[in-house]
Amino acid sequence: MTSTIADRLLDWYDRHARALPWRARTGEPAPDPYRVWLSEVMLQQTTVAAVKPYFAAFTARWPDVAALAAAPEEEVMAAWAGLGYYSRARNLVKAARAVAGRGGFPETEAGLRELPGLGAYTAAAVAAIAFDRRAVVVDANVERVVARLFAIETPLPQARKPIRVAAETITPETRAGDFAQAMMDLGATICTTRDPRCLLCPLAEGCAARAQGDPARLPRKTKKKPKPLRLGVAFWIERDNAVWLVRRAGKGMLGGMRALPDDGWSAQADGSGEPPLPGDWEALGRISHTFTHAQLELAVSRYAGDGSPEGEGEWWPLARLEEAGLPTLFAKAARLALA
């Protein structure tokens, strides 16, 4: 069964592999580990379509790991703005510096796990794709394919262990990187969440979920609890065609990013929060944003006085606001204020 699944999948991949900027074509030498690692970090909980322009911008600006290692962290964070999950960007810089310090990427899964920010999935993906080491690579697409192939009824996230065990049984000794990418492509284009295209699937024969008649019901998922709602206020202070921006603390939500001043997201239900300056404030409206663990509603207030903000910050020209690298939340607030 193992060789049959791998052979059929790899034959399909040779003909239908997606052309992606971080990927080597079938038959070509393995891609640069830097490009594999960078793309895998960017792709965590982010779509391919969203990642492509960021990947192009990063590799144009920092073409290798040494260049990224030498970059100031604040510049990397600004370039990352909009991709979300900003701890990834901080770990990206730390890992780049660790790799540059040792003279190159480790080639084993265990060695890659020692780098900052590389968990089990990313280490396995880089080991397989960049170094063709046999590694069991399981992302959300692979989870779906394996859960259906073996009809694993245990709901996620509890199903992750049996899914990994099953994936281990079908991972080949050779062409490990191509096999990993083939599984990802199959899940992304054929074995999709809704309406899987079983008639086009190279693994349809022998798929236990298809034999049961309803592959789309798997994988089962535990019902998520509603996300708690947090309230906050962002403050827009404008002067001479510039806006006052602050740098958020290095740790915590959106750590290290430029942002508008805010009240620490501790507003009352009426949207009131402690402003950074005394005086008149004009309510501009509200924006909402979804984080992994919470939903945030942010009121935006504009300063109508002539005082000066205290503490560390910078006046950023409105004409160059896009260059500030504001995270999506504060970019929304800025658009509201400027409208």
Whether 63 shows a pLDDT value over 50: the answer reads yes
Whether 1 shows a pLDDT value over 50: the answer reads no
- Residues 197 and 328 placed together within one structural domain of the fold: no
Tokens 């991972």 identify what position? 171
Whether 25 shows a pLDDT value over 90: the answer reads no
- Residues 115 and 187 placed together within one structural domain of the fold: yes
- Residues 187 and 266 placed together within one structural domain of the fold: no
Look at the chain and report how many structural domains it folds into.
2
Q: Which two tokens stand for residue 90?
A: 């901080």
- Residues 20 and 129 placed together within one structural domain of the fold: yes
Half-sphere exposure of 273 (CA within 13 A, CB side): 24
Give the model's confidence band at 310: pLDDT under 50 very low, under 70 low, under 90 confident, else very high.
confident
> Is 190 inside a domain boundary?
yes
Domain encompassing residue 241: 229-338
- Residues 177 and 236 placed together within one structural domain of the fold: no
Q: Please report which residue ranges of the chain form alpha helices under DSSP H.
A: 2-16, 33-43, 48-61, 65-70, 73-80, 87-102, 109-113, 120-131, 140-149, 160-170, 176-189, 208-212, 328-338
Domain end point (choices 197, 217, 237): 217
Domain end point (choices 217, 248, 263): 217
- Residues 170 and 250 placed together within one structural domain of the fold: no
> Is 266 inside a domain boundary?
yes
Round the average pLDDT of the chain to a whole number and report it: 92
- Residues 162 and 275 placed together within one structural domain of the fold: no
User: Global pTM?
Assistant: 0.82
CATH number, position 157: 1.10.340.30
Active site residue 40: yes
Give the model's confidence band at 275: pLDDT under 50 very low, under 70 low, under 90 confident, else very high.
confident
> Active-site residue among 40, 73, 310, 314?
40
> Is 182 inside a domain boundary?
yes
The strand pairing partners of 317, in sequence order, are 242
> Is 224 inside a domain boundary?
no
The reported pLDDT for the residue numbered 272 is: 62
- Residues 233 and 211 placed together within one structural domain of the fold: no
